[in-house]
Amino acid sequence: MKYLRNCLIGLAILLLAGVLLLWFLPVRWALPWIEPQLHGLRLQQLQGSLWDGRAGQVLAADGRPLGKLQWTLSRRALFGQTQAKLDFQGPQFDFSGEMRRLPGQKVEWRGVNLHAALAAWPARVNLPYGQPRGELQLTIEHAILQGGWPLQLQAQARWQDAVMRTRNGDVALGDLQGQAQSQNGVIQAQWQDDGHGPLQVDGRLQLSPLGWRLDATLRARQTDPALRHWLSGLGQPDADGKINIQHSGGLAAALPGTTATNQGTKSP
């Protein structure tokens, strides 16, 4: 009996030590398990634990410094209930928000704030009418994603000092702002200008996994030749100088408020 009791006491001590180690696990020790999930990103100058820590430097896959990261991870993750707060700060890109995994392979985000200088965006955006430049500010009050698609969404965005960089030079668009909502996987987005810039904008976008529809009206407020030349590539103005854009793709008839006509994805 004494031998069995000693074995049980020793086992209990080992279990307690393991729990304490896991509860206060230094992030440096967990790094070999973390980095394979970061898609090439590397964390350096690590401090704190796996549950409450920071990386003084985050490097891209090519070694380029991106900024610093601070996080808080709930210990409920040990029981499959992942909850985390992230705060990333860099010279060209800031991001913060709260994330929680839900049943059914869903992810919930709250309080997301993103600020980015588009000129320094790591992924090049190839649009047919130029490269976007300026400052992007995005706020997501609430979002539920499944497979990366927003089943629910409430977001606002502002594009300050908006510019499209083309082969013929930069085209200034002014300050643009927009809102987006999603219910049952159907996104409804609206955007417009601030009322004072060189470009008057009023746009609507409906988007779902089945199709999309775009309706927008553009008009130059000024006689900027670069802006008018850029607009001419989008369509012919009407008698009031407005360019009306209507495009749809996929099964656009499945979207609320659309007609059964599919106009395709052809460029104007």
Q: Residue 239 — pLDDT band, cuts 50, 70, 90?
A: confident
Q: According to the 3-state scheme, what is the secondary structure of 182-238? A: EECCEEEEEEEECCCCCEEEEEEEEEECCEEEEEEEEEECCCCHHHHHHHHCCCCCC
With a cut of 70, say whether residue 252 has pLDDT above it: no
How high does pLDDT run on average in the chain? 86
Per-residue pLDDT of 21-76, as tens digits, reads 677 788 998 888 888 888 889 999 999 999 999 999 999 888 889 999 999 999 88
Question: Considering the chain, what percentage of its residues have pLDDT values greater than 70?
Answer: 84
Write down the pLDDT at residue 100: 96
Q: Give this prediction's pTM.
A: 0.82
Q: How many CA atoms lie within 13 A of 176 on its CB side?
A: 22
With a cut of 90, say whether residue 10 has pLDDT above it: no
Write down the pLDDT at residue 51: 92
Write down the pLDDT at residue 32: 87
Question: Considering the chain, what percentage of its residues have pLDDT values greater than 90?
Answer: 56
Cα Rg of the chain, angstroms:
25
Q: Residue 17 — pLDDT band, cuts 50, 70, 90?
A: low
Q: How many CA atoms lie within 13 A of 28 on its CB side?
A: 6
Per-residue pLDDT of 99-133, as tens digits, reads 999 998 899 999 999 999 988 765 556 677 889 99
Write down the pLDDT at residue 153: 97
Write down the pLDDT at residue 264: 39
Write down the pLDDT at residue 6: 64
Which of these ranges, 5-19, 142-156, 191-205, has the smallest mean pLDDT?
5-19
